[in-house]
């Protein structure tokens, strides 16, 4: 018998509360979303570290130590450049979207966009 109940007034109140929930500005929301996503990625199983490198090759955000970070950033930058050049040489309208390097111990994933790099190192078999 509980399957249908008359609509109570409380549900109406709840509706209005939900509307006031979106009090963020758009940018704040965006930043929060992105932050959240990054944190989620970092907390996935087997993820060793994430590095965000800006256009100058300087690591902007990282979860690894400094020396490892700079090493990864430097090496992967040139590697990604090489890969992108290879892709675009064949067809200039094409472009590189993702690079995955699977090695014995772990996998390095690089997402290049707009000269920035998002690097994630994961060991999926932990």
Partner 1 sequence: MEKEMTPTLLSNSFTGTTNSSGSGEFKVSRRSNQKIKFAASLNHNNNSDKSSNSVPHKKAIKVLDAQRRDVTPLALGPTHLEDPQSKKKPLSLDDLFFNTGANIFKSSSVADVASSRLFCSSFSSMSTMESGLLSRSCKTEDSFPLQDVTPPPPVHSAVPLERKGLPEENPDQGFDVTLTETDTFSLLDISPTIISEDAEGAEAVKQRNIHYAEFCKSRMANDNYSERSTQAFVGEPKTKHVQTNKNSSVNKSTTATSWDMYDSLCKPVDAGETQEADQEDYFVSTKKEKDKAEGSLSGDTGSTLTFVVEMETCVDSLTAESDQDKIVLSESFQNSLLVMERVVVLNIFQPMLAAFRGLPVLKDPYSTEKKPVAMEQSTEDKDWFLTPTLERLWAFACPLSIGRNITSMTWNKRNPDILAVGYGDWSSGSPKPGLVCCWSLKNLMWSERIFPCHSSVTCLDFSANNPGQLAVGMYDGSVAIYNIQAKNQVACIANSRDTSKRHQQPVWQVIWTKQQLQLSGEERDEVLVSVSGDGRITKWLMLSDGFNCIDLMVVKRIQDRKEKPKGNQEKIENVLLPVTPVLCVDFHPTDAGIYVIGTWDARMHKCSFSNSAHFLDTYNKHFSPVTQVEWSRFYPDVFLSCSADWTIQLWQLDTMTPKMSFTSVQSPVDSIKWSPNCSMVFAAVYRQRMEVWDLSSSILLPTAVHHAEPGVTLGSVLLAKGSDCVLVGDSGGRVTVYKLKNFRAGKQKQVNNLDDIMQAVPGSLND
Q: Contacts with partner 1 in 30-89 (CB under 8 A)?
A: 30-31, 33-35, 37-38, 40-41, 44-47, 52, 54-61, 66-67, 69-70, 73-74, 77-78, 80-82, 84-85, 88-89
Q: Which residues have a Cβ under 8 Å from the Cβ of 71 and sit 6 or more positions away?
A: none
20 binds partner 1 (CB under 8 A): no
Residue 15 beta carbon to partner 1: minimum distance, rounded to whole angstroms: 4
CB atoms closer than 10 angstroms to residue 72: 21
Short-list 52, 113, 51, CA closest to 80: 113
- H or E stretch at 25: none
Residue 63 beta carbon to partner 1: minimum distance, rounded to whole angstroms: 13
23 binds partner 1 (CB under 8 A): no
């Amino acid at each position: 018998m509980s399957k249908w109940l008359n609509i109570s007034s409380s549900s109406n109140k709840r509706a209005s509360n939900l509307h006031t929930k979106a009090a963020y500005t758009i940018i704040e929301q965006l930043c929060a979303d992105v932050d959240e996503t990054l944190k989620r990625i970092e907390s996935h199983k087997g993820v060793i570290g994430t590095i965000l490198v800006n256009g100058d090759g300087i690591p902007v955000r990282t979860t690894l130590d400094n020396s490892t970070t700079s090493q990864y950033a430097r090496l992967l930058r040139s590697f990604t450049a090489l890969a992108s050049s290879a892709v675009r040489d064949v067809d200039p309208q094409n472009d590189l979207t993702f690079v995955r390097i699977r090695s014995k111990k772990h996998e390095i994933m690089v997402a290049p966009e707009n000269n920035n790099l998002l690097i994630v190192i994961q060991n999926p078999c932990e």
